[in-house]
Structure 1
Amino acid sequence: MKLYYTPEIIRRFVAGMAASKLLILEGISGTGKTSLPYSFSRYLDNPATIVSVQPSFRDRTEVLGYFNEFSKRFNETEFLRAVYEAGLRQDPSMIVLDEMNLARVEYYFAEILSVLEMPSHDEWVLDLVPTQWAADPKALHDGKLTIPDSLWFIGTANNDDSTFTITDKVYDRAIPIELNERADAFECEPHERVHVTADHLQYLFQKAKVEYVIDEELLQKMHKLDQYLQTRFKLAFGNRIIKQMYDFIPVYVACGGTELGGMDYIIARKVLKKFESMNVSFVRDEMKGLIEYIEKTFGEGGLPDSVMYLQRIQNFY
């Protein structure tokens, strides 16, 4: 397909799949945000379904469809068909919500976000119709459809005047990945597609957590930073982000990264990003002290993404 991505982007994408069922690919137009999940899913021999989000999306019916009381028929959507079909396959499946922030994500995707938060996969259930019909599809039980554990949702997002801001509620549940420039072309040998089941992919994720246990000293430094942020900014990592970090970092390392690099990425994109919604003057006055604390705790150059992100916020304000 003549698509080029840096190893770091691929590393973040795979580790992101281990940490969340929702990934958000952000950046300027033309950097391959939509092509990445599509080409990756083709490599796994199960091409992704691409759903183009429209500005008119207002509620869950835009993605899940609705039952027409007049015709007594269910108006299904391409999105819902893809969810249903994913449950019939053993392969990893992806649904790409292209330009997901052309409409407010929390309006049309809120129910799915809530369902994916349930601790047990048995609770990943979507209520589609109030009653059961004889002609219902076989995977529909009592009007309910289960979201398969083999399914990932990949959103692409542009940041311009035509789009809505993605809220913290959505970001907290997702792994964001920035694509702001195209990678340089390089020579490589073509590879055949590989067939891997979703169960085997999950096995590889779990294997990475066993083989690449996060260093205890590094975790202590993370907790110190968490306490500093809580004391100075009333900003906490939160249980969800900490869990994502425990899932993300081992797979990031298994893909050729470092523990510190994986932690740096999550801290910058998941925690420090919250500064953007804080009081401007307060943030500006406190940035220097925070940068110094990070470099003292993790060493100078230890968290380059986080420091660069804070400097960017500092200069912007």
Structure 2
Amino acid sequence: MNSQNRTIDWLLAGCPTFAVTIVIALLLGQNMLKSGAIALATSATSVASAAIINGRQMTRLALLEQQITDNNKAEQLRAELPNLQAEYHKLSGKTEKINLLIKEKIKELEIKQASLGRAKGQLAELNQRSQDMKQAIAVITAQKQAIEQRVATLAKNYPDLDKLEQLQAKIAELQLQKAQLQGEIQGLEDKLAAMEYQKVLLRELEAKILDQRVEFERVTTQIQQLEARKKQQETENENLRNKGDRLRQQAIVYQAKLNKVEPENDPLESLKHPLWAENNSKLPVDLPKIISEEKFLHNFIQDIQAQGFYFPERLVRAFHTSLKVQGISALVVLSGISGTGKSELPQLYAKYIGAQFLLLAVQPRWDSPQDLLGFYNYMENQFKPTPLIQGIYQYNRSPELQDKIVLVLLDEMNLARVEYYFSEFLSKLETRRHHPAELEIDLGNCFGKLRSGDLKIPKQFLFVGTMNEDETTQTLSDKVLDRANVITFGQPPKLALINPQKNINDSRLSGYLTYEQFTRWLQKPEENSPLVKQLEIWLNKTNHVMAEMGHPFAHRVYQSIIYYVVNYPGMTDVKSDAFKWALADQFGQKILPKLRGLVISDESIQENLDRLGGIIGAIGDPNLETAFQRARQGYQFQWKGLAYQ
């Protein structure tokens, strides 16, 4: 019985080892027979180990049997029993772990078998592909042999095949050279790109240098202007101090006189002193005797030449037209160097048409409207008028002067800053075409002595100013330029003495030209006429270019140009010389002066000036083209005016 139990124990000890060994052998890729042999060997070892262990246990059991018989050792056996139980439980836990390990290995075995199946399928596929490739190689080998036979045949039939091979070698050599050249070209292109980049950097550097130069010139100009302004301010301050001293001295004298003045003295007495000593007995001219406006101008030019003066015909036409359109362009400015006849032309014109002439000599100290119109002296209780306000007052009070033209000349008007003394008055002039322009001046307590309209600016008053171009004068602002026509007197082509003729009255008018007769030559533009439509195209195109340069013009300038061109003497259609001359006049008087001081070094400005030059060239006036090209020279646009030859 004991031997049977020991045999069973050995089998129980060897079975787990046998199973685990088989699984491990299969995982390591061994076949079933080898796995079984390995497992049996391992199991035998385990059984042998178990037999040894079992022998030891048997010996121990024999001792225990002896001890059992020994009542004295019974307690010791009871003490060892828990240890044996613990060892039994420990062996049971190991058995469970071995069972779990066996299950895991079985699963891994299944996975390996599945992978083995896929590998077998891939191997079969590779074998098939290998067969296909062998067949393809056989076909290619046959083709190669056929080609070699064909080459051999060609070598026999065509002994020049060596030359062909030489040519092929030459072609290969040329292709190599081509590749080398392409490489060199690519290198040169890379160098060119680098040089272009350096060129761009150089342009940017030049632009920066140019900008800095322009900025330096601008700052230098500002410094010079500030220095000139400082000197002017110092001069004005000195004049004001002297004026203050004189006024204080006069105040003392006037105060003494005031104590002796009788109450019935008229504060407006100085306004009533006769301004024009000329006898007004002349009658209005019989206009039908003047054949046309063209004939009028022809006779006027003859009269000028008879008195020994010479002015270009276009300049006279521009002056006459500018006077006609003073309803929309309220001022005519005659600009140029001193001694070119700027002051003589208005006087000759006024004398020829029998108009009253009023000369105002502008002073450098003028800085307010009072210098132009006068002021009320509270110390003397008298209004101190200027010839202008005196003429306006007497004209409105004199029936014999009604509808007679009065030509007012502001001589050297830019000796003082025009905006200071003339801006407010110019705004009044501009309103005359819509409603009466009444002057608002300080008359102390004299308003009760004035009638309504006594200080209204008559529409019969035509205003002309002269400007010398030198370092002592001021420039005109855009406000004045937009409301004026600036006519330039150029350098005379030939210097000559005044040599009047003996008979100079043949072409004179027998009477005076009334304002109503003068305005009969005035034409109102028709919006849909071909002339106005063509002007609209020209001006819109020009204004687009001007806007690109930051100097656009608006409705006032547009309307002024339309009125001027339509009313130019001899105007018939857009193909006439009159149209070309009139449009060129307005480019020189209204548009190009807006570009003064424009920095023209910028590429976009140059492009827009080229576009503007194209428009000017299409007008076809050589004088305008020459003046425009001269103004473009230098860093800034220096417009000197349109000079007539």
Q: C-alpha displacement at 1:39, in angstroms?
A: 0.7
Distance 1:250 1:48 in 2: 28
* Secondary structure at the counterpart of residue 125 of structure 1: coil
Q: C-alpha displacement at 1:234, in angstroms?
A: 2.5
1:290 matched residue in structure 2: 609
**8 Å contact from structure 2 (residues 332, 485) kept in 1:** yes
Q: C-alpha displacement at 1:237, in angstroms?
A: 2.6
**8 Å contact from structure 2 (residues 600, 606) kept in 1:** no
CA separation of 1:253/1:259 partners in 2, compared to 1, >3 Å: closer, same or farther? farther
* Secondary structure at the counterpart of residue 202 of structure 1: helix
Q: C-alpha displacement at 1:294, in angstroms?
A: 4.4
Q: C-alpha displacement at 1:236, in angstroms?
A: 1.8
Summarize the alignment of residues 182-201 of structure 1 with structure 2, pairs less than 5 Å apart: 182=492, 190-193=506-509, 194-201=511-518
Amino acid in the other structure paired with 1:33: K
Q: C-alpha displacement at 1:166, in angstroms?
A: 1.7
Q: C-alpha displacement at 1:257, in angstroms?
A: 5.2
Q: C-alpha displacement at 1:289, in angstroms?
A: 4.4
2:557 matched residue in structure 1: 241
Distance 1:26 1:293 in 2: 24
Distance 2:619 2:561 in 1: 20
* Secondary structure at the counterpart of residue 462 of structure 2: strand
Question: 1:288-308 CA deviation, whole Å, 9 max, x = no partner?
Answer: 54334543x576462544433
Correspondence for 1:8 among 314, 319, 328: 314
Distance 1:214 1:305 in 2: 23
Correspondence for 2:628 among 307, 310, 313: 310
Amino acid in the other structure paired with 2:519: Q
RMSD: 2.9
Whether 1:161 and 2:481 are equivalent positions in the alignment is no
Using the TM superposition, name which of 238-247 and 36-45 deviates more. Answer: 238-247
CA separation of 1:203/1:34 partners in 2, compared to 1, >3 Å: closer, same or farther? same
2:344 matched residue in structure 1: 35
2:374 matched residue in structure 1: 65
2:6 matched residue in structure 1: none
**8 Å contact from structure 1 (residues 221, 298) kept in 2:** no
2:461 matched residue in structure 1: 151
Distance 2:489 2:632 in 1: 22
Correspondence for 1:275 among 575, 595, 601: 595
Using the TM superposition, name which of 150-159 and 273-282 deviates more. Answer: 273-282
Distance 1:252 1:175 in 2: 13
Question: 1:131-173 CA deviation, whole Å, 9 max, x = no partner?
Answer: 554544xxx428x611111111110000101111122221111
1:141 matched residue in structure 2: 452
Question: 1:109-133 CA deviation, whole Å, 9 max, x = no partner?
Answer: 1111111222654341111236554
CA separation of 1:310/1:287 partners in 2, compared to 1, >3 Å: closer, same or farther? farther
**8 Å contact from structure 2 (residues 330, 426) kept in 1:** no
Using the TM superposition, name which of 270-279 and 125-134 deviates more. Answer: 125-134
CA separation of 1:168/1:133 partners in 2, compared to 1, >3 Å: closer, same or farther? closer
Distance 2:424 2:535 in 1: 36
* Secondary structure at the counterpart of residue 206 of structure 1: coil
CA separation of 1:311/1:299 partners in 2, compared to 1, >3 Å: closer, same or farther? closer
**8 Å contact from structure 1 (residues 118, 124) kept in 2:** yes
Q: Which has the higher contact order (CA 8 A, sep 6+)?
A: 1
CA separation of 1:257/1:99 partners in 2, compared to 1, >3 Å: closer, same or farther? farther
Q: Which has the larger radius of gyration?
A: 2
* Secondary structure at the counterpart of residue 270 of structure 1: helix
Question: 1:61-118 CA deviation, whole Å, 9 max, x = no partner?
Answer: 1110011222221111112122334444211111101100010111111111111222
Distance 2:607 2:569 in 1: 30
1:75 matched residue in structure 2: 384
Correspondence for 2:566 among 250, 275, 289: 250
**8 Å contact from structure 2 (residues 322, 485) kept in 1:** yes
**8 Å contact from structure 1 (residues 124, 146) kept in 2:** yes
Percent sequence identity over matched residues?
27
Question: 1:185-244 CA deviation, whole Å, 9 max, x = no partner?
Answer: 89897412352111221221137x57x9725234312212212222x2132231111111
TM-score by length of 1: 0.86
Whether 1:51 and 2:364 are equivalent positions in the alignment is no
* Secondary structure at the counterpart of residue 337 of structure 2: coil
Where structure 2 has 5 or more consecutive residues not aligned to the other structure, the ranges are 1-306, 636-645
Correspondence for 1:94 among 378, 386, 407: 407
Correspondence for 2:419 among 89, 103, 106: 106
CA separation of 1:313/1:199 partners in 2, compared to 1, >3 Å: closer, same or farther? same
* Secondary structure at the counterpart of residue 154 of structure 1: strand
**8 Å contact from structure 2 (residues 355, 406) kept in 1:** yes
Q: Which structure is higher in helix share?
A: 2
Using the TM superposition, name which of 114-123 and 54-63 deviates more. Answer: 114-123
Using the TM superposition, name which of 106-115 and 245-254 deviates more. Answer: 245-254
Whether 1:203 and 2:520 are equivalent positions in the alignment is yes
CA separation of 1:293/1:5 partners in 2, compared to 1, >3 Å: closer, same or farther? closer
Correspondence for 2:542 among 201, 225, 229: 225
**8 Å contact from structure 1 (residues 291, 310) kept in 2:** no
**8 Å contact from structure 1 (residues 132, 141) kept in 2:** no
Distance 2:616 2:487 in 1: 23
1:116 matched residue in structure 2: 429
* Secondary structure at the counterpart of residue 254 of structure 1: coil
CA separation of 1:110/1:300 partners in 2, compared to 1, >3 Å: closer, same or farther? closer
Amino acid in the other structure paired with 1:141: S
* Secondary structure at the counterpart of residue 469 of structure 2: coil
Q: C-alpha displacement at 1:47, in angstroms?
A: 3.9
Distance 2:570 2:309 in 1: 23
Distance 2:634 2:395 in 1: 43
Distance 1:42 1:27 in 2: 23
- Name segments (4+ residues, structure 1) moved above 6 Å: 183-189
* Secondary structure at the counterpart of residue 126 of structure 1: coil
Where structure 1 has 5 or more consecutive residues not aligned to the other structure, the ranges are none
TM-score by length of 2: 0.44
CA separation of 1:133/1:289 partners in 2, compared to 1, >3 Å: closer, same or farther? closer
